[in-house]
C-alpha cells in the first residue's frame, strides 16, 4: 500500500496542478481522525479556494472530478466524498489495502526503510563521566539515543553514535581521592573520612561499594580495559595520579558492561580533556575575541550571547582564569562541524536546558558557517523506580541511586528499553518493576512480543514454506478486521518517517501496541488455519506480514521479537 499511496499522491499532484500552477508540490493525503470518514483525507480544496476565488466546496467538487479521472484513482479508490467545508474523503478498494501485504513480504526487514541519502548524522548520548555506575537516567538516555539512531537510519541517513566524557576535572579528582582513602583503609564514617559540612568537597566524596571494589583491584595491580582505554595499576596507594587513571579506566569498563547488557555499542569516544590538550578551547576563545563577540568586565571574559537570542550575556573565562563549562561545549561542536557532520543531535537531561542558547550563540558568533539551530537537542527527565509499590532510591552498589544494571537484572533489557521509550522524553516517568516482569496484557512489551510469538506459533503449526505466500490471491482478506489490520500495516513507513523527523521513538511504541491490539482482534475474529486453501494462504500471508512489521518496529527500539514465549 505504500506504493498505492505514492500513486494516489501523484494523481492528486497532477489534479492540483491542473487547478493552480505550482499547487501540485503541496499534494498531501492525511489519515482521518475518525476511521468512518474514510481511509485518506485531503484539505487542498479549502487551501485553493482563495487563489481560485471560489467556494471551497465547489473547488472540492472540481478536484473530485479530476481525481476520479486519474488512472490511479480508478484502480485503487472506491469512492470520494465531500464533507464539511470542503474536505475530500477517499475510501480505498479492498485491493488497495491488500497490496501492502505483498509489499511487506517482498521487502521484509527493509519495509519502511528509505534509500540512502548520503547525509551523515552524529548522535551524542549517555556521555556519562566515569565517576560511578550508570543510573536509570543514563538508561533512559541510552534507550532514547539508540532508538533515535535507528530511526534516522531507517530514513537513509548515515548515523554515528558518539560518547563524550570528561576524564579530568573536579569530579575525577573527587573519584581519585575517594578511591585513595579506601585503598588506605578508610571507610565512610571513619574519623579520617571527610565529613566537614563547611567543606563542599567533602559532600562530593563517593561512598558507594564500587569505590571499595576499585581500591581493592588497584592494590592487586590489576589491568582493566574498556572500549577506549586500558590501564594497569601500580598498587602504590600514595600515587594519586596512578589511582586516578586506574579508576577512570575501571569505571569506563563498568559502563561498557552496563551498555553491553543493554545491547548498545558506540562508534566513537571523545574526551573533554582532548579539547584542551589539542588547543581547541583556546583557539575557540581566540576566534570569538577576534570576531568582536567578547568583552572584559569585572575581571572576567564575557560572550555577547544576547546578540543571538540568549536572555543575558555569559561568562566564558572566570576571574581565576578557568573556563566556564559551556566553552568546551562550543569547541566540541565546532569539532563536530569540522568532522563533516552538518546534522548533530544531542540527547541530554533537562538540567542541560540552560546551555542550549549559550552553546548555539557561541557557534554562531564563531563564524565558521554553522547554521542557526545547530545542534538539535532532545532533553529527557529523570526516572522514578517503583518496586512492590514503594519507590526505590538507593542501590547498595552505587550508594545513592538505582543503577541501570540493577534495572536490567530485576527485569530484562527488552523491558527496560520499551518502558523507557514509552513516553515523550520530557515527560516524567515512573518505571514499575512489577509491571515490567508481569506476563499479562497490562505489560506493554509483553503484549507486543506475545503478538509476534503468537503469529510464529501459527506459522509453525502451518508448517509450510514462507515462499508459498508470495503472490497468493489476497482477495479473501475482505472482512472489517482484516481490512483494519492491513490499513494499519500500511501506516508503518509514514509513522517511521514522522518519528524520525520529530526524534520521537515513543511514537513507535504507541504504533506497536496498536498493531498488536489489531492483530489480537483479528486473530479472535477469524480462524487462520481453515480448510479452504485460498483462504488459509491469504490469512497466513496477512499474519506473516504483521509479524514482519512487529519485528521491524521492535528492532528500531532495540527490542527482540521472540518466536516463543
| pTM exceeding the 0.75 threshold for the entire prediction | yes
Mean pLDDT of all residues belonging to the chain: 93
Q: What is the CATH number of domain 120-135+158-267?
A: 3.40.50.620
Q: Is 82 helix (H, G, I), strand (E, B) or coil?
A: strand
Show Cβ contacts of residue 518 under 8 Å, excluding neighbours closer than 6 positions.
Answer: 481, 484, 485, 488
- Residue carrying the nine cell digits 509483553: 446
Q: What is the pLDDT of residues 372-403, one digit of tens each?
A: 999 999 999 999 999 999 999 866 566 678 88
Cell of 207: 561512598
For helices 444-462 and 506-525, what crossing angle results, to 10°? 50
How confident is the model at residue 200, as a pLDDT?
A: 55
Paired sense of beta strands 383-387 and 429-432, if any: parallel
Mean pLDDT of 507-520: 98
Q: How many residues does the chain have?
A: 565
Q: Which helix (H) or strand (E) holds 143?
A: helix 136-154
Q: For the ranges 69-73, 207-211, 220-224, 504-508, which has the lowest average pLDDT?
A: 207-211
Q: What is the pLDDT of residues 199-239, one digit of tens each?
A: 655 556 888 889 999 999 999 999 999 989 999 999 999 99
Cell of 131: 565517576
User: What is the DSSP track for 205-242?
Assistant: ---SHHHHHHHHHHHTT-EEE-SS-EEE----TT-HHH
Position 40 pLDDT exceeds 60 = yes
Q: What is the pLDDT of residues 237-278, one digit of tens each?
A: 999 999 999 999 999 999 999 999 999 999 999 999 999 999
Question: What whole-number distance in Å separates Cα of residue 201 and Cα of residue 218?
Answer: 23
How confident is the model at residue 354, as a pLDDT?
A: 87
Question: What whole-number distance in Å separates Cα of residue 397 and Cα of residue 53?
Answer: 72
Q: For the ranges 21-25, 251-255, 432-436, which has the lowest average pLDDT?
A: 21-25
Q: For the ranges 37-46, 75-84, 188-197, 338-347, which has the lowest average pLDDT?
A: 188-197
Q: One fold for both 120-135+158-267 and 441-557?
A: no
How confident is the model at residue 399, as a pLDDT?
A: 65
Output 544 or 188, whichever has higher pLDDT: 544
Backbone φ, ψ for residue 372 (5° rounding): -60, 150
Output 133 or 422, whichever has higher pLDDT: 422
Angstrom CA distances, 87 to 93, 96, 408, 422, stand at: 19, 21, 49, 33
Q: With bands split at pLDDT 50, 70 and 90, how would you rate the model's confidence at 542?
A: very high
Q: What is the pLDDT of residues 351-380, one digit of tens each?
A: 889 899 999 999 999 999 999 999 999 999
How confident is the model at residue 192, as a pLDDT?
A: 77
How confident is the model at residue 202, as a pLDDT?
A: 56
How confident is the model at residue 215, as a pLDDT?
A: 97
Per-domain residue ranges of the chain = 2-92, 120-135+158-267, 278-380, 441-557
Q: Kindly report the CA angle at 225 between 559 and 408, in degrees rounded to 5?
A: 30
Tell me: cis bond preceding 375? Omega within 30 of 0 counts: yes
Q: What is the pLDDT of residues 138-156, one digit of tens each?
A: 999 999 999 999 999 999 9
Mean pLDDT of 408-426: 97
Position 329 pLDDT exceeds 90 = yes
Q: Is 289 helix (H, G, I), strand (E, B) or coil?
A: helix
The answer to whether the Cα torsion of 26, 30, 33, 38 is positive or negative is: positive
Q: What is the pLDDT of residues 89-106, one digit of tens each?
A: 999 999 999 999 999 999
Dihedral, CA atoms, 130, 131, 133, 138, nearest 10 degrees? -70
For helices 353-366 and 326-338, what crossing angle results, to 10°? 60
How confident is the model at residue 400, as a pLDDT?
A: 72
**45: DSSP letter:** H
CA-nearest of 291, 268, 289, 287 to 279 is 287
Q: With bands split at pLDDT 50, 70 and 90, how would you rate the model's confidence at 335?
A: very high
Position 39 pLDDT exceeds 70 = yes
| Cβ proximity of 489 and 546 under 8 Å | yes
Q: Computed over its alpha carbons, how large is the radius of gyration of the chain?
A: 29
**166: DSSP letter:** -
How confident is the model at residue 440, as a pLDDT?
A: 95
Angstrom CA distances, 398 to 131, 132, 209, 215, 456, stand at: 10, 7, 6, 15, 41
How confident is the model at residue 197, as a pLDDT?
A: 61
Residues of the chain above pLDDT 90, percent: 83
Pick the CATH number of 278-380 from 3.40.50.970, 3.30.2270.10, 3.40.50.620, 1.20.140.10: 3.40.50.620
Question: What whole-number distance in Å separates Cα of residue 2 and Cα of residue 100?
Answer: 7
Cell of 430: 515512573
| Cβ proximity of 266 and 227 under 8 Å | yes
Position 543 pLDDT exceeds 70 = yes
Mean pLDDT of 274-293: 96
Q: What is the CATH number of domain 2-92?
A: 3.30.1360.70
Q: Which burial class, exposed, middle or buried, applies to 292 when counting CB atoms under 10 A from its CB (0-12, 13-18, 19+)?
A: exposed
Alpha helix stretches (DSSP H) within 208-352: 209-219, 240-261, 272-277, 280-290, 326-338
Mean pLDDT of 488-506: 97
Angstrom CA distances, 464 to 100, 228, 537, 540, stand at: 21, 48, 10, 10
Cell of 254: 563498568
Question: What whole-number distance in Å separates Cα of residue 178 and Cα of residue 207?
Answer: 8
C-alpha distance across the termini of the chain, in Å: 31
Q: Which burial class, exposed, middle or buried, applies to 515 when counting CB atoms under 10 A from its CB (0-12, 13-18, 19+)?
A: buried
Paired sense of beta strands 40-42 and 87-92, if any: antiparallel
The strand pairing partners of 164, in sequence order, are 270
Position 462 pLDDT exceeds 90 = yes
Residues of the chain above pLDDT 70, percent: 97
Mean pLDDT of 304-321: 94
**463: DSSP letter:** -
How confident is the model at residue 38, as a pLDDT?
A: 86
Show Cβ contacts of residue 521 under 8 Å, excluding neighbours closer than 6 positions.
Answer: 481, 484, 485
| Cβ proximity of 442 and 435 under 8 Å | yes
Position 73 pLDDT exceeds 80 = yes
How confident is the model at residue 168, as a pLDDT?
A: 80
How confident is the model at residue 203, as a pLDDT?
A: 58
Fold of 441-557: Isoleucyl-tRNA Synthetase; Domain 1 (1.10.730)
Amino acid at each position: 500500500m505504500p506504493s498505492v499511496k505514492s500513486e494516489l499522491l501523484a494523481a492528486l499532484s497532477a489534479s492540483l496542478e491542473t487547478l493552480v500552477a505550482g499547487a501540485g508540490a503541496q499534494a498531501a493525503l492525511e489519515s482521518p481522525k475518525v476511521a468512518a470518514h474514510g481511509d485518506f483525507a485531503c484539505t487542498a480544496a479549502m487551501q485553493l479556494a482563495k487563489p481560485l476565488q471560489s467556494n471551497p466546496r465547489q473547488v472540492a467538487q472540481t478536484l473530485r472530478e479530476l481525481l476520479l479521472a486519474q488512472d490511479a484513482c480508478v484502480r485503487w479508490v472506491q469512492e470520494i466524498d465531500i464533507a464539511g467545508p470542503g474536505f475530500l474523503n477517499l475510501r480505498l478498494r479492498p485491493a488497495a489495502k491488500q497490496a501492502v501485504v505483498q509489499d511487506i513480504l517482498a521487502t521484509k526487514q527493509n519495509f519502511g526503510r528509505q534509500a540512502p541519502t548520503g547525509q551523515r548524522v552524529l548522535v551524542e548520548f549517555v556521555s556519562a563521566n566515569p565517576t560511578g555506575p550508570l543510573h536509570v537516567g543514563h538508561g533512559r538516555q541510552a534507550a532514547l539515543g539508540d532508538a533515535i539512531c535507528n530511526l534516522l537510519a531507517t530514513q537513509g541517513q548515515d548515523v554515528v553514535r558518539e560518547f563524550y566524557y570528561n576524564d579530568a576535572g573536579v569530579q575525577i579528582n573527587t573519584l581519585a581521592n575517594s578511591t585513595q582513602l579506601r585503598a588506605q583503609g578508610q571507610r565512610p564514617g571513619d574519623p579520617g573520612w571527610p565529613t566537614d559540612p563547611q567543606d563542599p568537597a567533602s559532600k562530593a566524596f563517593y561512598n558507594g561499594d564500587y569505590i571499595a571494589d576499585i581500591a581493592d583491584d588497584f592494590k592487586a595491580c590489576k589491568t582493566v580495559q574498556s572500549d577506549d582505554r586500558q590501564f594497569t595499576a601500580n598498587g602504590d596507594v600514595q600515587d594519586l595520579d596512578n589511582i586516578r587513571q586506574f579508576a577512570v579506566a575501571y569505571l569506563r569498563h563498568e559502563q561498557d558492561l552496563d551498555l553491553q547488557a543493554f545491547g548498545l555499542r558506540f562508534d566513537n569516544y571523545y574526551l573533554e580533556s582532548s579539547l584542551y590538550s589539542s588547543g581547541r578551547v583556546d583557539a575557540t576563545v581566540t576566534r570569538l575575541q577576534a570576531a568582536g563577540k567578547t568583552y572584559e568586565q569585572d575581571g572576567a571574559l564575557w560572550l555577547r550571547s544576547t546578540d543571538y537570542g540568549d536572555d543575558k550575556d555569559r561568562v566564558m573565562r572566570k576571574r581565576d582564569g578557568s573556563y566556564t563549562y559551556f566553552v568546551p561545549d562550543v569547541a566540541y561542536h565546532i569539532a563536530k562541524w569540522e568532522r563533516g557532520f552538518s546534522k548533530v543531535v544531542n540527547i541530554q537531561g533537562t538540567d542541560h536546558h540552560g546551555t542550549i542558547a549559550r552553546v548555539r550563540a557561541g557557534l554562531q558568533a564563531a563564524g565558521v558557517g554553522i547554521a542557526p539551530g545547530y545542534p538539535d537537542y532532545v532533553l529527557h527527565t529523570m526516572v522514578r523506580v517503583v518496586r512492590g509499590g514503594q519507590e526505590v532510591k538507593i542501590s547498595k552498589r552505587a550508594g545513592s541511586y538505582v543503577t541501570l544494571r540493577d534495572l536490567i537484572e530485576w527485569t530484562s533489557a527488552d523491558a527496560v528499553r520499551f518502558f523507557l521509550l514509552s513516553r515523550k522524553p520530557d515527560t516524567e516517568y515512573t518505571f514499575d518493576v512489577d509491571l515490567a516482569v508481569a506476563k499479562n496484557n497490562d505489560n506493554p512489551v509483553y503484549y507486543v512480543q506475545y503478538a509476534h510469538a503468537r503469529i510464529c506459533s501459527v506459522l509453525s503449526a502451518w508448517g509450510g514454506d514462507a515462499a508459498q505466500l508470495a503472490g497468493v490471491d489476497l482477495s479473501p482478506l475482505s472482512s472489517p478486521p482484516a481490512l483494519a489490520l492491513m490499513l494499519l500495516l500500511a501506516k508503518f513507513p509514514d509513522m517511521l518517517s514522522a518519528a524520525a523527523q520529530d526524534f520521537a521513538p515513543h511514537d513507535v511504541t504507541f504504533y506497536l501496541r496498536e498493531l498488536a491490539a489489531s492483530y489480537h482482534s483479528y486473530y479472535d475474529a477469524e480462524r487462520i488455519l481453515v480448510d479452504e486453501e485460498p483462504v488459509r494462504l491469504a490469512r497466513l500471508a496477512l499474519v506473516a506480514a504483521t509479524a514482519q512489521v512487529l519485528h521491524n518496529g521492535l528492532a528500531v527500539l532495540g527490542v527482540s521479537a521472540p518466536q516463543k514465549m
